[in-house]
Amino acid sequence: AKTFKIAVLPGDGIGPEVMAEATRVLDVIGQKYNVTFEGTFANVGGAGIDNEGKALPQTTIDICKDSDAILFGSVGGPKWESLPPDEQPERGALLPLRKIFGLYANLRPAIIFPSLTGASSLKEEVIGGGFNVLVIRELTGGIYFSQPKGIEGEGRNRIGIDTMKYSVPEIERITHVAFQAARKRGKKVCSIDKANVLSSSVLWREVVIDIAKQYPDVELSHMYVDNAAMQLVKWPKQFDVILCENMFGDILSDEAAMLTGSLGMLPSASLAEGSFGMYEPSGGSAPDIAGQGIANPIAQILSAAMMLKFSCGMVEAADAIDTAVETVLDQGYRTRDIFQNKSGEKLVNTKEMGDAIIAALA
């Protein structure tokens, strides 16, 4: 049987709780499709700090380097927020992982499942019939990574500095990802920028227009980010692929997630050139519900499905997971974040949702 080496990084908060369900689903997939997932657990984030003294221990980096893919939970929480910024879980582990492995393309598919239209924050008239938006977020550049960065000076003279830079090659490669994805679906790309204010956006728009010439079958439009935030809640069905720089994509993808009912539903794939990738829910460690076993594991499980598709070439297995999720939602299974207290709904905890998805896979 074929073997895939997976670095499993549960992290903090609800990370380990939802990861347990994703790895159970992978075990079932392994049996069903006669492949072996050799999962190696590693500490990351607060768990890295607490157990090995560092948010991103070298052992964790080595395990990731020795793997076909990384399955990532989430990191961060109040316990580590008073550490120096660069040592905290987010800036000390998650961002470096993205940079080290060249994970420049973050795919965040916000799809509304038919039986969840009631859980969306939008009115039935607006989301009825569902929608399917793919946010493509540049993940290793922009204001998250550009230099100079930091706090300089003393006392009231301190200045906080962040810089937003994009090079032509950085814009080109993420634009290709967006157009290639659009080709396989609704054939529309909406590029988001703030070209009325930001120089990095002026260049972004120029380069996107240039690359678009190679994809005459795909329709390109442009939107300022503030308008895009508004248009997403006004009429999400107008969008197919949304192409964003790093921070705009961070913000708009949380917004898109809520339209589908809950942040706990939104998976993501962070891809490098080639088949390596890191698969992570778009949401965080959810300190407000951590430790209670009630988090929604669907984002983590759908992230594992994206891993099967993009890093393992197991498209059929990935589709089977997507279908199983749709089935359990149709059957009325709801974690608290998507529970509407309507007839036919069954309120379940994290593990029971995992059980239901596994049962639907069988």
Is residue 133 helix, strand or coil? strand
Q: Which of 12, 193, 240, 250 is catalytic?
A: 250
Examine residue 56 and tell whether it contacts ligand IPM (CB under 6 A). Answer: no
Q: Which residue's CB is nearer to ligand IPM, number 178 or number 286?
A: 286
Q: Closest approach of Cβ 210 to ligand IPM, in Å?
A: 27
Q: Is 86 annotated for ligand binding?
A: yes
Distance CA 171, CA 177 (A): 10
Choosing among Mn ion, ligand IPM, ligand NAD, none, which partner's interface includes residue 120 (Cβ < 5 to 8 Å by kind)? none
When the beta carbons of 29 and 70 are compared against Mn ion, the nearer one is 70
Specify whether 226 is catalytic: yes
Catalytic residue among 12, 104, 144, 333: 144
Q: Which residue has the tokens 């070298």?
A: 58
User: In the set 7, 8, 29, 94, which binds ligand IPM (CB under 6 A)?
Assistant: 94
Q: How far lies 204's CA from each of 82, 165, 198, 243, in Å? A: 36, 10, 10, 11
To ligand NAD, the closest distance from the beta carbon of 126 in angstroms equals 22
Whether the upstream peptide bond of residue 148 has omega within 30° of 0, thus cis, is yes
Minimum gap (Å) between residue 269 Cβ and ligand IPM: 12
CB nearer to ligand NAD: pick between 77 and 249: 77
Verify whether residue 351 is a known catalytic residue: no
Q: Does 250 bind ligand IPM (CB under 6 A)?
A: yes
Q: Is the dihedral of CA 178, 183, 186, 191 positive or negative?
A: positive
Note whether 245 binds Mn ion by CB under 5 A. no
Q: Which of 19, 22, 21 is CA-nearest to residue 74?
A: 19
- Sequence-separated (6 or more) residues with CB below 8 Å from residue 22: 71, 297, 300, 301, 303, 304
**Would you call 144 a catalytic residue per the annotation?**
yes
Q: What share of the chain is helix, strand, coil (3-state, %, to 5)?
A: 50, 20, 35
- Number of shown-chain residues binding ligand IPM (CB under 6 A): 7
Q: Which amino acid, residue 42?
A: A
Q: How far is the C-alpha of 277 from the C-alpha of 336, rounded, in Å?
A: 30
* Binding positions for substrate: 98, 108, 137, 226
* Binding positions: 77-90, 98, 108, 137, 226, 250, 254, 284-296
Interface residues with ligand NAD (CB under 6 A) are 14, 18, 74-77, 90, 94, 262-264, 280, 283-289, 295-296, 299, 337
